[in-house]
Amino acid sequence: MRRFTVPIASAAALLAAVAVLTGCGAEPGPELPVAKAGGPRNVQVGETVLFDGSASAHAVSYHWEFGDNTSSEQMKAEHAYAAAGTYAVVLTVRNSVGGSGRDTAEVTVTEELHASPTARISGPSTGRAGEALTFDGSGSSGAKPIASHAWSFGDGTAPATGPTATHLFAANGQYAVQLTVTDGSGLTGVASLTVTIGEQGTNRPPVAIAGHDLSSRVGEALSLDGSVSYDPDDGDAIASYEWDFGDGSAPGSSAQVSHSWGTPGDYTVTLKVTDTHGASDEASLKATVLPPEDFSGRWTLAPTPSTRPCPGYTLSFPAPTVDLIHSGGQLSAQDPGESRRRLTGTVSAQRHFSMSVTFQGAARSCGTPSVTEELSGEFAAGSDRALTGSYKVYHSYPDLTCNCTATFGVTGTRP
């Protein structure tokens, strides 16, 4: 008689073993689980990967080993790799009686792809033998931080490192200054600048400096200053300045000028400077011109009678003050405390306005007139917004011989 030794993990497993050995008497036990880890994957460093074991069969528990000393007990597990390489991901599943199954998936992790950095050189393109010239590469940039700057000067001298470099060329000629920048991943970018070295006394052009970008509103003057422009040659100087305001107006011709624009928009202002030898340079800035700002305020109106008013007519305002409100290009006026009804009109870019109102008023012996008032004027630029203009009163009577017009000068000030 043969004897078999079978390790039994549980009562259910014992019954299953007896059934196998005797061929009868016990119901079949749970099926062995089947693990499904999924196919191979290709990802980049830091990219999150979803590992899904839901296709596994007869499983009640899941255990993932990602090959980088980390694991998860989730059926669906997310993971990101910190380093490039090939990883064997193992999924182990178990059923309710401890039976297990496993599957392996291969994951290939590569470094993140990105563009090479861009090298940029800022510095003079001319100079003299023995003169110290400084070149600046700090404007270089890339998807990853710049790790190093390497300079060569095209004259056989030792290279330099760092964001900026100062160099002296010993002889006249043309030299190719080259900057190589390297990012943290080892990718490189290259830029070059041709530098012409001339003899002592060779004229170099002046340097135009127009200033930074500015903004104002329509009709408000901007001050522009090019006086910091300079000529790099000893004994030479800037002979002329020319400002182009970008709006077709006459150019400015001094170091410091002021200018206003009549239409909102962005304007390119260009300064051209010329030295005594005729060499020149240009620099530009952007002038942003905004529409007139919205405002509201209370003005005191002071009428001045004309020399030919209507007979016996004395001008008086319903109130000594008037509220003026400008919003969205529209101007309205009202007596303080009243609804906005008396005067309406449109303000142009120059802040002109024209307003009128018609109402019925009493007359003496000429009957009841139709009286039309018209206030027209202009706000002066500036924070005080002084008002100047005229106020007309038209009297139209049934008796036409009584018709007349009275015109008064008007000034307004904001308290």
Query: Does residue 191 form part of some domain?
Result: yes
Task: Please indicate, yes or no, whether residues 392 and 326 belong to a single structural domain of this protein.
Answer: yes
Domain's final residue, options 110, 140, 156: 110
Name the percent of the chain lying above pLDDT 90.
Answer: 45
Domain's final residue, options 290, 309, 343: 290
Query: Does residue 14 form part of some domain?
Result: no
Query: What is the pLDDT, as a whole number, of residue 135?
Result: 95
Task: Please indicate, yes or no, whether residues 163 and 236 belong to a single structural domain of this protein.
Answer: no
pLDDT greater at residue 392 or residue 138: 138
Query: Does residue 45 form part of some domain?
Result: yes
Query: What is the pLDDT, as a whole number, of residue 251?
Result: 96
Task: Please indicate, yes or no, whether residues 93 and 57 belong to a single structural domain of this protein.
Answer: yes
At 57-87, the pLDDT tens digits run 999 999 999 999 999 999 999 999 999 899 9
Query: Does residue 25 form part of some domain?
Result: no
Domain's final residue, options 275, 290, 305: 290
Query: What is the pLDDT, as a whole number, of residue 178?
Result: 97
At 288-345, the pLDDT tens digits run 998 766 655 555 555 555 444 455 544 444 444 555 555 554 545 544 444 433 333 4
Task: Please indicate, yes or no, whether residues 70 and 56 belong to a single structural domain of this protein.
Answer: yes
CB 178 within 8 A of CB 192: yes
Task: Please indicate, yes or no, whether residues 142 and 164 belong to a single structural domain of this protein.
Answer: yes
CATH of the domain at 192: 2.60.40.10
What's the average model confidence in pLDDT over 226-230? 95
Query: What is the C-alpha separation between 273 and 140, in angstroms, rounded?
Result: 29
Question: Which structural domain, as residue segments, surrounds residue 273?
Answer: 214-290
Task: Please indicate, yes or no, whether residues 300 and 279 belong to a single structural domain of this protein.
Answer: no
Task: Give the 3-state DSSP-derived string for the chain, with helices as H, strands as E and coil as C.
Answer: CCCCCCCCCCHHHHHHHHHHHHCCCCCCCCCCCECCCCCCEEEECCCEEEEECCCCECCCEEEEECCCCCEECCCEEEEECCCCEEEEEEEEEECCCCCEEEEEEEEEEECCCCCCCECCCECCCEEECCCEEEEECCCCECCCCEEEEEEECCCCCCCEECCEEEEECCCCEEEEEEEEEEECCCCEEEEEEEEEEECCCCCCCCECCCCCCEEEECCCCEEEECCCCECCCCCCCEEEEEEECCCCCCCECCCEEEECCCCCEEEEEEEEEEECCCCEEEEEEEEEEECCCCEEEEEEEEEECCCCCCCCCCCCCCCCEEEEEEECCEEEEECCCCCCCCEEEECCCCCEEEEEEEEECCCCCCCCCEEEEEEEEEECCCCCCCEEEEEEEEEECCCHHHCEEEEEEEEEECC
Query: Does residue 206 form part of some domain?
Result: no
Task: Please indicate, yes or no, whether residues 285 and 302 belong to a single structural domain of this protein.
Answer: no
pTM above 0.75, yes or no: no
Query: Does residue 262 form part of some domain?
Result: yes
Number of structural domains the chain divides into:
4
Query: Does residue 173 form part of some domain?
Result: yes
Query: Does residue 137 form part of some domain?
Result: yes
The torsion defined by the Cα of 309, 312, 318 and 319, in degrees rounded to 10, comes to 80
Task: Please indicate, yes or no, whether residues 337 and 357 belong to a single structural domain of this protein.
Answer: yes
Task: Please indicate, yes or no, whether residues 332 and 388 belong to a single structural domain of this protein.
Answer: yes
At 10-64, the pLDDT tens digits run 444 444 444 444 444 445 667 899 999 998 998 888 889 999 999 999 999 999 9
Task: Please indicate, yes or no, whether residues 300 and 404 belong to a single structural domain of this protein.
Answer: yes
Angle at 338 between CA 335 and CA 339, to 5 degrees: 110
Kindly report the average pLDDT of the chain as a whole number: 77
Check pLDDT > 70 for residue 408. Answer: no
Query: What is the pLDDT, as a whole number, of residue 201?
Result: 54
Task: Please indicate, yes or no, whether residues 318 and 280 belong to a single structural domain of this protein.
Answer: no
Task: Please indicate, yes or no, whether residues 381 and 308 belong to a single structural domain of this protein.
Answer: yes
CB 231 within 8 A of CB 237: yes
